[in-house]
Structures are given as structure tokens and as C-alpha cells.
């Protein structure tokens, strides 16, 4: 494990909270993700199902968690099924979890081999009225054709037990995962701190004609060295006009003297993810226009992030941020005040230069699960990420911090990542 083992009290508490929200006499079944294959025998690596991880801490493929809080036999209330290893797996892949290790990590007392899942469930299903099953509930172009292990579990379960009631585990996990415990906050702070240190190193090596991927490499080296598992997502290292493509991540261009770089990156530490964006000049000195645009975005970040506090509703916050950006766009000469005053509210003019949302939860997912209709509460951690993109000037600027909402307002977990123009320039030139 690259990270210090997480105390199993986190997962025991998470399961207890989950079970308290299940309706009577139901069984929850949570499955791990698949190891994804690409070509021949090559695999893309493994990324655990985050609901399963949240409830068990198990970071291994072919795992199933079964919760049946109303089971009349005590030993059936919590069962973890894991892959049974053998000599072949040991030679090729190395050690897998023993039952004792899985029990220690998760705090689940009863651990069985996965081949015993169907038979074990059979006797429990006779007694139960329904099942909670996990599902990603997210359909994007890229995922439409992918059948997941969850999909297969849903099909199998419904075919085998057609007359049971079916319920959404995600309804519960989405609600619970939105509020971070102290332990989770500690892990997210660690991810944020690794991001901060990695970014400082990038500022030191940046110079004209460096390739975007060389900066990505510097980032990767530092975050892996610091114990991160991986980037939270494919980092965006976008110089000049590349920064105006919101999800640019080929990172294969040359950073030209006079251009500004937008770097949006996250650190995955112990499966918890930070998400930050900074912009800096290739040559260590912002041009006058870059300074203007950057200062506008920074004012929006400083002002807008104040709204990340208990009681505020996400849609109000987004609207207020849009108003702030609109004002800055007028100051920058990109929009005309009189045209803005006459604009169609359904098609606001600011969208030409600022076309994305400003806050999302972070946690086990970078765009963490949660209901955006729920007002902000203490314990939520959200990004704030205003931006202004001007392709015709070759400038794209976004600034993004991570904020923990508390009773008293918020705490910027990425406060120590240089953001003031003078601090960025000083770091690059000293
Ligand atoms: N990196 C994706 C985002 O900032 O939301
Ligand atoms: Mn973000
Ligand atoms: Mn980001």
C-alpha cells in the first residue's frame, strides 16, 4: 500500500450509516470494478468502485460486499467476498489479500471466497424482501457501450430473483459521501498538499520551448514520489491557445515564449482526489494582457469562493459566479455593458468566454457524487474554478482551489499553492 492504512473505523462507521438508511429486511450488494482490458493481454489498470471502497476500504478486484442488517443469523449481517489466490496468481501478479488482511482493512468479521457468493446469498435471499444494488448512474458517450460488473450483477440478480424489490444503493451513498468525515478530510488534505508541492516544482523548471509533457512529467515525478497513487485525472498542461480547449490533455505542444500555461491537475492519494488549476507565464513574467485576464479570474475566485458556506444552494452560487465573471468580461472589453443589459437571459453573453460550471464536490471521485439540490453543509469539500477563455488572443485562464465548508465559512485546502501574480513570478525567477 502506498498510503498509511486507513483506520477501519472509517469503513465500519460508513457501513453503519449506510445500513441505518436501508429499508427493513433488504440486502445490499456492492461489487468491485473490472480490471479493464485494452488490447491482447494488456490491461489499463484497476480503479476500485468507489461505493465499495467507501463501505469496505478494499482496493482489490473481484470483491463483493453484502450487507443484510436485518439478517436473523448474526454472521449474515456483513459478509465480504474476495478473490481466492493460488500459485499461478501469486507467480504472475504477486500477493492478494488473505481473509485476515481483508478483515483487518475493512473491519468486516466474516470474509469468504468469491466463488461462495451465490450459494451464501441464496439462503439469505429466501428471507429478504429486496436488494439494494450498486450502479454508476452516469451515462456519458464514452461509457455507453461498456458493460460493468455492476451491470452484470444487476442482470444476474434480477434474473435469479425476479420477484424481490430492487432499490438503489447509490441513493444512499450519494447522500453519505457528500459529507466528509475527519478521516476523509485528512486524506483530501494530504492529496492537496502533494499537489501544492508538485506545482511549486513545476514553476521551477518551466522555461521557453519546454514541451507541455515535460511539465506533466515533472508533476508526475513529484506526486508519485510523494506517495500518490496516480493523477486524479489526465492532467491538462495547455499552453497559449490550447488552454481554450477545456479538456485539452494531449500535452504535446511546445510552450512558446510569451504564452501563458494553464495546468489543471489532481492528485489521487489513498483513492481521495484533489483538483486544482493554476496559470503561469512560460517565461516567468506575465504580459500586461495576461495580467489583466488573470487578475479578473482571481477576483472572481476570491469573491465567488466566499459563497461556499453552509446554506447556500449550488444554483445560486453558480449564478452569482456568472455575474462576477460577466462584470470582469465588461472590464476586459470583451463584452459591452449595453449589450449585456439587453441580452436574452436564456443565452447570456458571458457563455462565449466562460462556458463551464464553477463548483463540484471532490472526494473518492474527482467530480464527486452528491446531490446538487442539497444546500452546502459543513463537511462538504468543493472546488471553485472560474475561468475566462479568449481563443482570439491565445489566452485561457482558469484558477481552481479546493474548499472545505465549515460552520464558520470555508477553509481553502490549497491556500499554499502560489496564486498571486507576484508569488508565481517570484517562484519562477528565484
Ligand atoms: N479537471 C476537471 C475539473 O476541473 O473539473
Ligand atoms: Mn474541477
Ligand atoms: Mn480541475
Q: Are residues 151 and 207 in the same domain?
A: no
Half-sphere exposure (Cβ direction) of 212: Cα atoms closer than 13 Å: 23
Below-50 pLDDT ranges, the chain:
none
Q: Are residues 392 and 250 in the same domain?
A: yes
Work out the burial of residue 227: count CB atoms within 10 Å of its CB; fewer than 13 is exposed, 13-18 middle, 19 or more buried: middle
How far, in Å, is the centroid of ligand 3 from the Cα of 297? 15
Q: Are residues 324 and 236 in the same domain?
A: yes
Chain center to CA of 177: 12
Q: Are residues 146 and 223 in the same domain?
A: no
Q: Are residues 168 and 191 in the same domain?
A: no
From the alpha carbon of 367, which atom of ligand 1 is closest?
A: 5
pLDDT for the residue 38: 85
pLDDT for the residue 1: 81
Ligand nearest to the CA of 246: 1
Residue 3 belongs to a domain: no
Q: Are residues 248 and 372 in the same domain?
A: yes
The CATH number linked to 227 is 3.90.230.10
In a mutational test of the pocket of ligand 1, which residue from 262, 399, 400, 401 has the highest number of ligand atoms less than 8 Å from its CB? 400
In a mutational test of the pocket of ligand 1, which residue from 275, 359, 361, 414 has the highest number of ligand atoms less than 8 Å from its CB? 275
Nearest to 232 by CA among 182, 257, 198, 208: 198
pLDDT for the residue 147: 85
How far, in Å, is the centroid of ligand 2 from the Cα of 385? 6
Distances (CA, A) of 373 to 188, 212, 359: 23, 38, 13
CA nearest ligand 1 atom 5, residue: 367
Q: Evaluate whether 297 touches 388 at the Cβ level (below 8 Å).
A: yes
Chain center to CA of 7: 21
How far, in Å, is the centroid of ligand 2 from the Cα of 332? 24
Question: Residues lining ligand 1, CB < 6 A?
Answer: 233, 264, 275, 360, 385, 400
Alpha-carbon dihedral of residues 15, 17, 18, 19, nearest 10 degrees? Answer: 80
Q: Are residues 204 and 118 in the same domain?
A: no
Q: Which residues contact 352 (CB under 8 A, 6 or more apart)?
A: none
Distance CA 105, CA 234 (A): 29
Output the nine-digit C-alpha cell for 379: 463537511
Chain center to CA of 343: 35
Nearest to 70 by CA among 118, 117, 19: 19
Ligand nearest to the CA of 362: 2
Per the structure, the complete domain to which residue 15 belongs is given by 9-176
Please provide the DSSP assignment of 231-265 as one string: ESS--EEEEGGGGGSTT-----SB--TT-EEEEEE
How far, in Å, is the centroid of ligand 1 from the Cα of 225? 23
Residue 397 belongs to a domain: yes
Residue 13 belongs to a domain: yes
From the alpha carbon of 265, which atom of ligand 1 is closest?
A: 1
Nearest 5 degrees, angle CA 403-CA 235-CA 252?
150
Q: Are residues 352 and 388 in the same domain?
A: yes
CA nearest ligand 1 atom 3, residue: 275
How far, in Å, is the centroid of ligand 3 from the Cα of 345? 27
Last residue of a domain, one of 131, 153, 176: 176
How far, in Å, is the centroid of ligand 1 from the Cα of 425? 24
Residue 111 belongs to a domain: yes
Give the three-state DSSP class for 229.
coil
CA nearest ligand 1 atom 1, residue: 264
pLDDT for the residue 322: 96
In a mutational test of the pocket of ligand 1, which residue from 246, 266, 318 has the highest number of ligand atoms less than 8 Å from its CB? 266
Residue 4 belongs to a domain: no
The CATH number linked to 153 is 3.40.350.10
Nearest to 324 by CA among 297, 349, 344: 297
How far, in Å, is the centroid of ligand 3 from the Cα of 266? 7
Domain total of the chain: 2
How far, in Å, is the centroid of ligand 1 from the Cα of 302? 18
Ligand nearest to the CA of 402: 2
pLDDT for the residue 387: 98
Please provide the DSSP assignment of 337-365 as one string: HHHHHT--TTS-GGGGT--S-S--B-SSS
From the alpha carbon of 400, which atom of ligand 1 is closest?
A: 4
Distances (CA, A) of 177 to 18, 136, 173, 368: 10, 14, 6, 8
Last residue of a domain, one of 119, 142, 176: 176
Q: Evaluate whether 358 touches 321 at the Cβ level (below 8 Å).
A: yes
Distance CA 184, CA 380 (A): 11
Q: Are residues 290 and 211 in the same domain?
A: yes
The pTM of the full predicted model, rounded to 2 decimals, is 0.96
pLDDT in tens, 104-162: 999 999 999 999 999 999 999 999 999 999 998 876 655 667 789 999 999 999 999 99
Q: Are residues 51 and 101 in the same domain?
A: yes
Residue 268 belongs to a domain: yes
Nearest to 276 by CA among 380, 382, 195, 358: 195
From the alpha carbon of 264, which atom of ligand 1 is closest?
A: 1
In a mutational test of the pocket of ligand 1, which residue from 234, 265, 277 has the highest number of ligand atoms less than 8 Å from its CB? 277
Q: Are residues 252 and 156 in the same domain?
A: no
Helices vs. strands in the chain: H and E counts, helices first:
13, 19
Q: Are residues 280 and 264 in the same domain?
A: yes
Last residue of a domain, one of 176, 192, 214: 176
Nearest 5 degrees, angle CA 267-CA 63-CA 179?
45
Q: Which residues contact 303 (CB under 8 A, 6 or more apart)?
A: 324
Distance CA 411, CA 310 (A): 12
Chain center to CA of 47: 12
> Under the phi-then-psi rule, with left for phi > 0, alpha for psi from -120 to 50, and beta for the rest, what region is 209?
left
pLDDT in tens, 352-397: 999 999 999 999 999 999 888 999 999 999 999 999 999 999 999 9
How far, in Å, is the centroid of ligand 3 from the Cα of 350? 20
Residue 1 belongs to a domain: no
Amino acid at each position: 500500500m502506498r498510503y498509511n492504512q486507513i483506520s477501519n473505523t472509517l469503513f465500519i462507521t460508513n457501513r453503519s450509516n449506510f445500513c441505518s438508511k436501508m429499508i427493513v429486511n433488504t440486502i445490499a450488494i456492492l461489487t468491485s470494478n473490472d480490471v479493464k482490458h485494452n488490447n491482447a493481454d494488456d490491461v489499463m489498470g484497476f480503479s476500485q468502485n468507489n461505493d465499495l471502497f467507501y463501505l469496505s476500504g478494499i482496493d482489490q478486484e473481484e470483491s463483493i460486499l453484502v450487507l443484510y442488517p436485518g439478517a436473523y443469523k448474526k454472521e449474515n449481517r456483513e459478509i465480504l467476498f474476495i478473490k481466492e489466490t493460488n500459485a499461478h496468481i501469486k507467480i504472475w501478479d504477486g500477493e492478494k489479500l488473505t481473509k485476515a488482511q481483508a478483515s483487518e482493512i475493512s473491519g468486516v468479521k466474516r470474509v469468504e471466497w468469491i466463488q461462495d457468493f451465490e450459494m451464501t446469498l441464496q439462503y439469505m435471499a429466501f428471507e429478504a424482501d429486496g436488494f439494494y444494488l450498486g450502479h454508476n448512474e452516469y451515462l456519458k458517450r464514452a461509457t455507453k457501450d461498456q458493460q460493468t460488473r455492476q451491470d452484470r450483477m444487476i442482470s444476474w440478480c434480477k434474473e435469479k430473483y425476479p420477484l424481490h424489490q430492487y432499490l438503489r444503493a447509490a441513493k444512499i451513498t450519494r447522500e453519505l459521501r457528500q459529507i466528509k468525515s475527519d478521516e476523509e478530510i485528512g486524506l483530501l488534505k494530504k492529496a492537496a498538499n502533494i499537489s501544492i508541492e508538485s506545482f511549486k516544482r513545476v514553476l521551477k523548471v518551466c522555461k521557453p520551448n519546454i514541451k507541455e509533457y515535460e511539465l506533466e512529467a515533472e508533476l508526475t515525478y513529484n506526486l508519485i514520489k510523494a506517495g500518490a497513487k496516480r493523477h486524479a485525472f489526465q492532467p491538462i498542461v495547455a499552453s497559449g491557445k490550447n488552454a481554450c480547449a477545456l479538456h485539452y490533455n494531449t500535452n504535446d505542444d511546445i510552450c512558446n515564449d510569451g504564452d501563458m500555461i494553464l495546468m489543471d491537475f489532481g492528485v489521487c492519494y489513498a483513492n481521495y482526489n484533489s483538483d486544482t488549476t493554476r496559470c503561469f507565464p512560460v517565461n516567468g513574467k506575465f504580459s500586461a494582457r495576461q495580467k489583466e485576464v488573470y487578475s479578473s479570474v482571481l477576483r472572481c475566485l476570491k469573491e465567488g469562493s466566499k459563497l461556499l458556506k453552509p446554506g447556500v444552494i449550488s444554483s445560486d452560487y453558480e449564478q452569482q459566479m456568472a455575474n462576477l465573471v460577466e462584470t470582469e468580461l465588461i472590464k476586459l472589453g470583451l463584452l459591452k455593458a449595453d449589450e449585456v443589459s439587453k441580452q436574452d437571459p436564456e443565452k447570456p453573453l458571458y457563455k462565449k468566454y466562460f462556458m463551464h460550471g464553477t463548483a463540484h464536490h471532490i472526494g473518492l471521485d474527482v467530480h464527486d457524487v452528491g446531490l446538487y439540490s442539497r444546500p452546502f453543509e459543513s463537511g462538504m469539500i468543493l472546488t471553485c474554478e472560474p475561468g475566462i477563455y479568449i481563443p482570439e488572443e491565445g489566452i485561457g485562464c482558469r484558477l481552481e482551489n479546493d474548499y472545505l465548508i465549515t460552520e464558520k465559512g470555508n477553509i481553502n485546502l490549497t491556500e499554499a499553492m502560489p496564486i498571486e501574480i507576484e508569488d508565481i513570478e517570484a517562484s519562477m525567477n528565484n
